[in-house]
Amino acid sequence: MTTPLASAMALVLQHGIPIFPDQASSIARRVDLLYYFLTAVALSFSALIFLTVFYFAVKYRQRSPDERPQPIHGSLTLEIIWSVIPLLLTMVMFFWGATLFYEIRTAPGDAATLTVVGKQWMWKIQHPEGQREINQLHVPVGRPVRLVMTSEDVIHSFFIPAFRIKMDVLPGRYTDLWFTATKPGTYHLFCAEYCGTKHSGMRGSVVVLEPADYQAWLTGAPAGETPETAGGRLFRQFNCHTCHEAGPTSRGPSLHEIFGKTVRLRTGETVNVDDGYLRESILLPTAKVVAGYEPVMPTYQGQISEEGVMQLLAYIKSLTREAGGRPQP
Ligand code: CUA
């Protein structure tokens, strides 16, 4: 007869004691190595301090009631040793940690960009090919994936323990995250920031597939509109083109070949045209107006969902990509 205890024991015998989740991304092993190092340093210093305490307690115990110890007036050698060794150790931690952090925060240029919208209490994900998922994320093994994320309500946090990545998902702002999955399988996806009653239920799974299986999944899942196409539709639906595509006399700047560039504002400042700036310009159009234009654009706050904004951005980015691909006249 199998009791839960017996099956748990069988699992432990088979896999060992699972202290860590699977190492399923390109950085997982290296994050763990750093973590092991920090733990080893902490443990060895704790051991050293405790052993010394006990050793000195015995060695320097009072041997007779009238014994008076010799006063000590310091030791330069000792002070240098206990300053330099911790300094070196913390510098190792700093540079090791900073290098890893930098790598985790910098997505490779060829990463596929997916959008994630968090809301109480679910994750809505859209692939660049158009497929939508809720609380599920299908990705191929071995290919970098970048997630651009925002929230429709409160702060959430996107956490895939097996990939060792986590990032807050904030209302009114874009945050991003990237990973390369290295091992096919199904992994937990959690919300790691308390976001209301059903926070603990705001979870899902990441399904890592072999490239061929992923292609099959992609073909099988209903694609619907790509973010780009949907964005183009919204662009016309909200009449963006009447001001932004009217030629030299238009009331708004052209959006072709604009993404990733730097533009000058009415105030004389410059701003880099990225996701955050475009989003702000749709929802808060008078905040940073491009030089040579009047602050006449109405806000679209409340008229367009976060997903809609992301689709518009995909469309505006495609205008830059197309321009880049064509020979200049
Ligand atoms: Cu969303 Cu916790």
Distance 316 CA to ligand 1 centre (A): 30
Atom of ligand 1 nearest to the CA of 202: 1
Task: Categorize the per-residue pLDDT at 329 as very low, low, confident or very high, splitting at 50, 70 and 90.
Answer: very low
Question: Quick check: helix, strand or coil at residue 81?
Answer: helix
Mean pLDDT, residues 120-128: 91
Residue pLDDT, tens place only, 50-80: 999 999 999 988 888 888 888 888 899 999 9
Which tokens is 153 given? 């309500």
Nearest CA to ligand 1 atom 1: 156
Give yes or no for residue 195 CB within 6 A of ligand 1: yes
Ligand 1 atom closest to the CA of 120, numbered from 1: 1
Q: Which atom of ligand 1 is nearest to the CA of 192?
A: 2
Two structure tokens written together for 30: 């290296």
Low-confidence winner among 113-127, 239-253, 296-310 (lowest mean pLDDT): 239-253
Gap from CA of 217 to ligand 1 centroid (Å): 28
Query: What's the per-residue H, E or C state across 248-292?
Result: HHCCCCCCCCCCCCEEEECCCCEEECCHHHHHHHHHCCCCCCECC
* Element containing residue 140 per DSSP (H, E): strand 136-140
Residue 288's closest CA among 313, 312, 319, 253?
A: 253
Q: Please report, as a single letter, which amino acid is at residue 182.
A: T
Q: What is the pLDDT of residues 212-239, one digit of tens each?
A: 999 998 888 777 778 888 888 888 888 8
pLDDT, tens digit (0-9, with 9 covering 90-100), for 5-39: 888 778 777 766 677 888 999 999 999 999 999 99
Task: Tokens for 302, please give them.
Answer: 């409340």
Q: Is 41 helix (H, G, I), strand (E, B) or coil?
A: helix
Tell me the pairing of strands 144-151 and 112-119: parallel
Q: Which atom of ligand 1 is nearest to the CA of 195?
A: 2
Is residue 99 classed as helix, strand or coil in its secondary structure?
Answer: helix
